[in-house]
Amino acid sequence: MRDDLRALEGYHSPQVEVRVRLNTNESPFPPPAAWRDALAAELSKVDWHRYPDRGAHALREGIAELHGVLPSQVFAANGSNEVLQTLLLTFAGPGRSVATFEPTYQLHGHIARLTGATVVEGERGAEFTLDPGELERVIAAAQPAVTFLCSPNNPTGLEEPEANVRLALSKVPGLLVVDEAYGQFAKWSALGLVEEETPMVVIRTFSKTWSMAAARLGYLVGPEWLVAELEKVTLPYHLDAAKQIAGRLALRFAGEMEARVQHIIAERERVSAGMARLPVDVFPSGANFVLFRPRGKAGKAVWQGLLEHSVLVRDCSSWPRLDDCLRITVGTPEENDEFLAALADVMAEVTG
Ligand SMILES: *Cc1c(COP(=O)(O)O)cnc(C)c1O
């Protein structure tokens, strides 16, 4: 085994059997029934003895149309995590550095390390905003081959201001990756900045907004030359026939998806307001989850208390820089009500 991998820890997201599961940022709603029916019908017609369309042309045309770009600007893969992996295999690796601004999505640094790159961690401020001076300092010092920004940021929920993305673009010596796994829940997107001469990609996924975490499908939009390079690095036929069909058909239901997004945004605001009435610090979110910190250094105890009410949220309380923080994924209105009621009970027990 490689020495540099021995000390690495894997990526964990513990699952527990509970009534209300609000810990992995999935959509609380299944995809439309009409999508399931259309998928079943098309699956019965697949030539299973043949390899799938290696270029995933129909799927990429659909995604390109959604964003008003060219199909040759779209690279699709098995979840946006595989997009990240392909990017890092192409642009990172031994002898190169990759910049992240912590706390942020753990897999950015983790996959970078798997490629043998050195990860340079910039620091966000107390409220998890990113100071432009820190952004410039880290880029100047590390000269990163790849710089990550995540907007809205997981696990904090904060949207990265457009000014920071533009500043990063003006300073990076390499590639800027803007991870917009939660982009549809946010007020602005970096997609409008993508251009052939701009060293930037924007990553999206079907896992969250599109209610399709089980399908494992994500993509990036970027310059055509870059997509062509990624095609060399990724495994041939990595996108199976079923996935290509699932994604292509989902695009027909963009209206339904947008309605779900608006519903989740409204619930997010309701849940945030409900939490703010309790002794809890709530961080503003542009995503489908909310980070919060029960006051009185009670993070772990509150997580446990919620679990005893059969409500599972993500326990970030022992993660670096996230002391006592918990993250709740916005669920159905009924699940959110259960969560708010349980949190009120638990806060009364813990602080009372
Ligand atoms: C969930 C998530 C992803 C990964 O999603 P896939 O299911 O692999 O598409 C990527 N980035 C961030 C920030 C996420 O939270």
- CA atoms of 103 and 122, how far apart (whole Å): 9
Average pLDDT over residues 243-256: 97
The pLDDT of residue 146 is above 90 = yes
Residue 150 sits at the vertex; the CA angle it makes with 148 and 152, to the nearest 5 degrees, is 170
Within 10 Å of residue 345's Cβ, how many Cβ atoms?
A: 14
- CA atoms of 261 and 154, how far apart (whole Å): 17
Question: For residue 165, which of 184, 152, 182 has the smallest C-alpha distance?
Answer: 152
The pLDDT of residue 252 is above 80 = yes
Of ligand 1's atoms, which has the minimum distance to the CA of residue 216? Answer: 7
- CA atoms of 155 and 325, how far apart (whole Å): 10
What is the three-class DSSP state of 65?
A: helix
pLDDT tens digits for 76-116? 999 999 999 999 999 999 999 999 999 999 999 999 999 99
List the residue whose alpha carbon is closest to atom 14 of ligand 1: 181
**Cα 123 to averaged position of ligand 1 atoms, centre (Å):** 21
**Cα 33 to averaged position of ligand 1 atoms, centre (Å):** 24
Of ligand 1's atoms, which has the minimum distance to the CA of residue 25? Answer: 1
Question: For residue 336, which of 240, 234, 237, 267 has the smallest C-alpha distance?
Answer: 267
CATH-assigned architecture of domain 44-252: 3-Layer(aba) Sandwich (3.40)
Q: In angstroms, what CA-CA distances link 27 with 30, 141, 266, 284?
A: 7, 39, 14, 19
**Ligand 1 interacting residues, C-beta cut-off 6 A:** 25, 79-81, 105, 150, 154, 179, 181, 205, 207, 213, 218
**Cα 22 to averaged position of ligand 1 atoms, centre (Å):** 16
Residue 191 forms beta bridges with which residues? Answer: none
What is the three-class DSSP state of 291?
A: strand
Domain extents in the chain: 12-29+255-351, 44-252
What is the predicted pLDDT for the residue at 209? 87
Please name the amino acid found at residue 65. E
Band (9; pLDDT cuts 50, 70, 90):
confident
Band (11; pLDDT cuts 50, 70, 90):
confident
- CA atoms of 202 and 74, how far apart (whole Å): 10
- CA atoms of 42 and 35, how far apart (whole Å): 11
What does R_g of the chain's alpha carbons equal in angstroms? 21
Region label for 40, one of left (φ > 0), alpha (ψ between -120 and 50) or beta (otherwise): alpha
Question: For residue 233, which of 75, 350, 36 has the smallest C-alpha distance?
Answer: 75
**Cα 181 to averaged position of ligand 1 atoms, centre (Å):** 5
Within 10 Å of residue 156's Cβ, how many Cβ atoms?
A: 26
- CA atoms of 276 and 147, how far apart (whole Å): 34
What is the three-class DSSP state of 153?
A: coil
Question: How many residues in total does the chain contain?
Answer: 352
- CA atoms of 219 and 202, how far apart (whole Å): 8
Domain 12-29+255-351 CATH superfamily: Aspartate Aminotransferase, domain 1 (3.90.1150.10)
Of ligand 1's atoms, which has the minimum distance to the CA of residue 81? Answer: 8
List the residue whose alpha carbon is closest to atom 12 of ligand 1: 181
- Per-chain mean pLDDT for the chain: 96
**Cα 330 to averaged position of ligand 1 atoms, centre (Å):** 16
Average pLDDT over residues 276-296: 97
- Phi–psi pair at 311, nearest 5 degrees: -120, 120
List the residue whose alpha carbon is closest to atom 5 of ligand 1: 80
Residue to mutate (ligand 1; options 81, 100, 210; most atoms within 8 A of CB): 81
Band (8; pLDDT cuts 50, 70, 90):
confident
